[in-house]
Amino acid sequence: MLHIKILYMYSVIRTFIYFILLLPFYGITGHAADAPAVDITENNGKELKFGVTIPNLKISNSIGLVVNDGGLNFFSHGDDGDLIIDETSVSLSHEGKFDITFITGSQKENFDFQTSNTGTYDYLDILPVDGTASPGLIDYDAGLLTVVTESDLSVFTFNHLWDVSELNLNGNELLQQLDSQFETKLGFRTNITDYSSGWEHTAVDNNLAGAISTSNESVNVFSAGPMLSLKSYRGSLNEDTDIYYKADISALLSQEKMKAEQTRLNSLNTYAVDDDRITVAGIINLAVGMNNQLESGAVISLSGSIDIRNDLPFISKPICTTGMDCDSAEYAAQAEAAHLDSRITVSPSVNLSFVYDF
């Protein structure tokens, strides 16, 4: 099934790249299309667009800790889960020809692990990222233990677009049909993504008091590929305000690298692993919005959108299943070292932008 998906994505990428490589050789042609109520490029197309977006991006799925009983039998991951970055992103576009978007955000999140404080010996154990058996506790019998995770994310995106309505389509029926119904653009998208996540826990149990355990991980991604942008104006509220729908589709070839390291009880044990891969990914952005033209000639645009994407990898870490001894040969035989993996995420966002003609 994975082979079929890769072949399909490769076919899409190959088709888009074919058009992009031929763009410099296309001639300029005239094109008649329905005009929106608000023409944001009427002044010779010299347009600057500033936008602010609040995205929701998932960047991790585990912090690598478990709660065990006295026999080291796993029974809880606590509230271990996804980390969400929802900091504001800023975007800039010029003449509808290129878009630059930069997202940067930091976030602290508390994860709670319940251990006993009555002498029944519940342990907070570390699960090594290299897939080896758990060395044992980093804290125990201390009641509710809170581990604070700090995460940082930065994403730089550059899109360069060409308006299909100005190109000689050389008889391509698909693009001609799309261009007859939408404001159609072909382009090239590049993403540079970096994120890191880590925690530091100081033991509070009397026998371990002050012992520090840590975890740090980072992911770096560079991806690039062709992009198809479709936009349609669907009616006007009045002479100054119109409604539009938009879809951007990207097929990306992505190079991804990961590093992860843990230390236990003042570096009594250290575990490290890295991973890298080249994969194919896709992004679909669906948006609906409205443009409102001010008396000054500037345009304010408000839109809501949904990103459906699998270009932001997460770190898949070893998991100790319910009732399993995390310090056993059975666990070590089935545990897989931390590695990069893909998943489809659906992220809603709201965008407010200001368009200025000069």
Tens digit of pLDDT for each residue in 193-240?
999 999 999 998 878 889 999 999 999 999 999 999 998 887 777 778
pTM: 0.78
pLDDT above 90 as % of the chain = 29
Tally the domains of the chain.
Answer: 1
Average pLDDT value over all residues in the chain = 79
Q: How confident is the model at residue 119, as a pLDDT? A: 60
User: What are phi and psi for residue 233, nearest 5 degrees?
Assistant: -95, 125
Higher pLDDT, 77 or 89: 89
Residue 323 domain boundaries: 2-357
Higher pLDDT, 97 or 322: 97
β-strands 144-163, 98-114 pairing = antiparallel
> Does residue 55 carry a pLDDT above 80?
no
> Does residue 165 carry a pLDDT above 90?
no
> Does residue 272 carry a pLDDT above 70?
yes
Higher pLDDT, 109 or 71: 109
What single-letter DSSP state applies at residue 134?
Answer: P
Least confident of 65-74, 155-164, 306-315: 65-74
CB burial of 278-294 (b: ≥16 within 10 Å; e: otherwise) equals ebbbbbebebebbbbbe
Give the separation between CA 125 and CA 67, rounded to whole angstroms. Answer: 6
Q: How confident is the model at residue 177, as a pLDDT? A: 75
> Does residue 16 carry a pLDDT above 90?
no
Q: How confident is the model at residue 245, as a pLDDT? A: 92
User: What are phi and psi for residue 326, nearest 5 degrees?
Assistant: -70, -10
Q: Summarize pLDDT for 300-315 with one digit per residue, the tens.
A: 988 999 999 999 898 8
Give the distance, in angstroms, between the CA of residue 82 and the centroid of all CA atoms in the same chain.
12
Higher pLDDT, 48 or 60: 48
Q: How confident is the model at residue 79, as a pLDDT? A: 54
Higher pLDDT, 70 or 279: 279
Enclosing H/E stretch for 307: strand 299-309
Give the separation between CA 299 and CA 95, rounded to whole angstroms. Answer: 14
Burial class of residue 191 in the structure, from the number of CB atoms within 10 Å of its CB (0-12 exposed, 13-18 middle, 19+ buried): buried
Confidence of residue 117 (pLDDT cuts 50, 70, 90): low
Q: How confident is the model at residue 358, as a pLDDT? A: 62
> Does residue 40 carry a pLDDT above 70?
no
Assigned token pair, 154: 């930065």
Q: What is the mean pLDDT of residues 66-77?
A: 71
Q: What is the mean pLDDT of residues 33-57?
A: 62
Q: What is the mean pLDDT of residues 285-292?
A: 92
Please list, in sequence order, all residues whose beta carbon lies within 8 angstroms of the beta carbon of residue 174, skipping any fewer than 6 positions away. Answer: none
